[in-house]
Structure 1
Amino acid sequence: MTRVCLVGSPDVVLRYELLSRETAREALSTYDLSEPFENAIALETVSVGAAVSLLNDLNWYLTRFVDAAFVREPSIDADEWLSRELAEAVRNDGVDPADTGTFLKIYGVTREDDGAADPERPDAATAPGETGGTGGSSPVAASSADAADAASEPDAGAARTEPGKLVEPLYVRRTDGSVPEYDLRDVDETVVVRVTESEFET
C-alpha cells in the first residue's frame, strides 16, 4: 500500500481544519487516519496514482493548512518518502523510480520522554470547536481509529506515546549510496524525504 502523510502548518490544528470542512472530510472519509508525527495525519492508498489524485483533490486545503505532503511507495523504498512533487513526477513517468534517490530532505524527529498527553499541544483532542462540525458530529471522532492505527506505525513502541515532532529539514545529496548524517541538532531519529532537483535547489 502507498502511504500519504500530511504535516500541518505550525499555526493550525491540521486534523480539525480538514475534518471540520465537508469536502475534505468526505475525501478522507474512506481512509483510516493515524498520527505518525505531531500535527500530522497519515493514511494508506492503493497506489502512487491514487495518492497523487487524493492530494490534488485536497489541494485547496493543502495550500492553506499543510506544511508538507509526503508519499511512501514500498516498491520504490520501504522507509523513505517522496515529496508530493516527486510523487507526481513518478506518476506521470517524468522521473524513473530508480532515479529518485539523489536529492534528499532529511527531517529531525524529537519526542517527549514521558509520553504523557500534553493539553497544550496544537493537535490535542480537545481542540476548540471540534464538536461543531457539519451534521452535528465531531470531525475528530470521524477518525476514532487513530489509537489503533498509531500502534501500527513503524516507530511506535509497545506502549502508547505521543508522536514525535518534525524539526528543521536538512537538504543533502546521497553520496555513494549512503545518506549523510543529520547534524542540525540532536534528534531522536530522522525521516528521509526524496525531493525533485528543483525542490533541492530552492
Structure 2
Amino acid sequence: MKQSVLAAFLLAPLLLVSQSYDAALGIRVGTEWGATAQLRLPQIHKNFVLEGIVLSSLNEDEGTLTLLGKQHQPLLSRRLNLFYGAGVHAGWSNEIDGETGNPFDGPKGITGIVGMEATFARVNVSYDFKPALNVVGGESVLDTHTAVSVRYVIGKRYSIWNRDKEKEIRKRRRAKDRERRREERDRAGKRWFQVWKSGN
C-alpha cells in the first residue's frame, strides 16, 4: 500500500502539463466566490499570464473586480507551476459603517497573488493567497483571501498565439537585449571581453 501511494505521488507530476494553455475560464471558491479568466501573453514572456477575477463576498454585501499580471515558474520538470504577481482592484460595497451610518465606499487599491497551479488535459486547478491593499474605500485597509480555482482550458497552447510568431517575438526580444547590453558596454568604454575594465 505504501509503495502504491509513493509511486502515485512520484508519477502524478508526470501526467501534468505545465502552462500548456493560452486561455482558460472557470470558477473561484474560497473566502470569496466568483469567476476567473486567464490569458497567456507571450509578447511579455512565454509564461506571463493576465488574469481577471470577479468576486462576491460570502459573508458581506460587497464584491470586487481584479486584474492581475502573473509570472509562472515551472516546478518538477515543468509539470507544476508556481506563480506570483500583482495588479489592481476596484469594488463596490453596501455594508454600513457603524460609526457614520453610511455605506462604505467601494474598495480600490493594489492586489498581490502567489500560488501553485496544475493542468491535466483541459482541466486547470490552482490554489492561491491573494492579499489586497485598499488605498481608498473598503471596510479595512488590508483584506486577505485564499481560494481554489477550477478552470476549463478553452484554448490550448499555440491555439491563440502562433508558435512561429511567438518564436519570432522571443528572437526580437533577445536581439533587443543584446543591443541594449552592447550600448551599455559602449557607454562604459569597454569591449565585451574587458569585464575587468572600469566604466569610469
TM-score of the superposed pair, with normalisation by structure 1: 0.22
Task: Give 1 or 2: higher helix fraction.
Answer: 1
- Which structure has the higher relative contact order (CA within 8 Å, separation 6+)? 1
Max Rg structure: 2
TM-score of the superposed pair, with normalisation by structure 2: 0.22
Task: Give 1 or 2: higher strand fraction.
Answer: 2
